[in-house]
Amino acid sequence: MDFAQFLAPFDPAAFRAQYFGKQPLYVRGEARERRELLPWARFNEALALTPYWTEDTLKVYFRSRAALRENYCDTADLRAGQPAPVNPAKLAALTGLGASVVANQVHRVCAPIGAVAHMLAEELAARCFANVYCSFQGVQAFQTHFDLHDVFAVQMEGEKTWRIYEARADTPTAPVPPGDEGEQFLNATRGRVLAEVVMRPGDLLYLPRGQYHDALTGAQASLHVTFGVAPLTGLSLFRLLEKALAAESGFRAYLPDARDPAALEARFAQLGSRVQALMASPAFRIDVLNAQRELAGTPAAYHLPAQLPPTWYSLAKRARVQRRDSGFAVLYDGGEIPVGATSPTIEWMLSQRMFALEDALARQPGVDRAELRADLGRLLQAGILAETEMK
């Protein structure tokens, strides 16, 4: 499923321009692909993978309150720090009483959901995960709340009424603490109902980060999956800056004593000017690009018993990757070869006496393979690397 099929019949370009990160969007379930992602049978199969489900990955709620782990998990003979495994019989008993089930990170154990999560991560340059919500007639598992990430909710089975409120938290990074006080705060600040949507199988609802909402199950049991989408924020730049500037002595040097304001201000000005120059550089844009690509990770795709025969290379000439504000280059005794976003992979290659191309690709999952093969060809032509055979 690609992004156009996921949003169908809504136009992806219009979504990006008018809705992504801006306002909610409701799309009726006209796309067959969405309706078939997670029927009851497939969800039951995922739940049957009992080693995966623990108090960390599966939560149970009854009348909007989280159930104690001993009510649905096996807590005897646990080692320190070990999460309690879910007890299927206890879980079945609680659902019989009307408790709601939240299966977190289901993309890890359900291939069709995992494929969509990976597609969304690549399409939106974001980390993406999927949680499943199972609830029963007339149940409201969660009170009014907002999420710390964008949400694509897809109704799989039954019906659910979503109320979307006019309030939207300002780029939140922390949830409102649970409990009566938090609930009262959210109810007091949610504003008027902006829209009320009855979600039926195949329907999709997009909510931007911070949008206040709640949901109520209809007359039948409801099953829906939410894909949480979390792109990098400006706060992530500090980690990238620290990594890039760690090689510069000016940032490794001690700061002046703050009791000497003039000296401290002068150093701040010096360092601030360098940070500004770095952030405006092509090399730092590559850092951001690679950080965004890494969010998607590696898709879970296996084709056994087919085997991919590895392609082996050896280091024939010493070389190193040099970072400059203008970009990255491979330096060797015959000159230099400009490289771009492949620089982390190439740096790893040049540190190995021998390597398999498939291993190199696995170490930077987001690398553009066509770009890497082009750079690899230039390294081979320069005699830095040589094709070889594993003996």
Of the given ranges (100-104, 134-138, 227-231), which has the lowest mean pLDDT?
A: 134-138
Place of tokens 């897809």: 154
- Residue 366's pLDDT band, with cuts at 50, 70 and 90, is confident
Across residues 350-361, what is the average pLDDT? 92
Q: What is the CATH number of domain 3-231?
A: 2.60.120.650
pLDDT at 31: 72
Residue 162 pLDDT greater than 70, yes or no? yes
Residue 87 pLDDT greater than 90, yes or no? yes
pLDDT at 384: 96
The residue ranking higher by pLDDT, 390 or 348, is 348
Whole-angstrom Cα distance, residue 286 to residue 277? 14
In percent, how much of the chain has pLDDT > 90? Answer: 82
CATH among 2.40.160.60, 3.40.640.10, 3.90.930.60, 3.30.300.280 for 312-388: 3.90.930.60
- 145 contacts: CB under 8 Å, gap ≥ 6: 175, 176, 186, 212, 213, 214
In percent, how much of the chain has pLDDT > 70? Answer: 99
- Residue 306's pLDDT band, with cuts at 50, 70 and 90, is confident
Residue 237 pLDDT greater than 70, yes or no? yes
Across residues 182-204, what is the average pLDDT? 94
pLDDT at 141: 59
Where are the chain's structural domains? 3-231, 236-280, 312-388
Number of Cα atoms under 13 Å in the Cβ half of residue 335: 7
Beta strand 150-157 with 65-66 is unpaired
Across residues 135-150, what is the average pLDDT? 85
Across residues 204-223, what is the average pLDDT? 94
Of the given ranges (35-44, 56-65, 267-276, 346-355), which has the lowest mean pLDDT?
A: 56-65
SS (H, E, C) 122-172: HHHCEEEEEEEEEECCCCCCCCCECCCCEEEEEEEECCEEEEEEEEECCCC
pLDDT at 65: 83
Q: Is the C-alpha dihedral spanning 61, 181, 230, 325 positive or negative? A: negative
The residue ranking higher by pLDDT, 372 or 389, is 372
Q: Are 53 and 106 in contact (CB under 8 A)?
A: no
The residue ranking higher by pLDDT, 218 or 386, is 386
| DSSP code string of 224-246 | EEEEEEEE--TTHHHHHHHHHHT
**Mean pLDDT of all residues belonging to the chain:** 93
- Residue 350's pLDDT band, with cuts at 50, 70 and 90, is very high
Q: Are 378 and 337 in contact (CB under 8 A)?
A: yes
Across residues 133-162, what is the average pLDDT? 90
Strand order in the sheet with 204-207: 25-27, 204-207, 150-157, 222-231, 126-135, 100-103, 58-62, 65-66
pLDDT at 200: 94
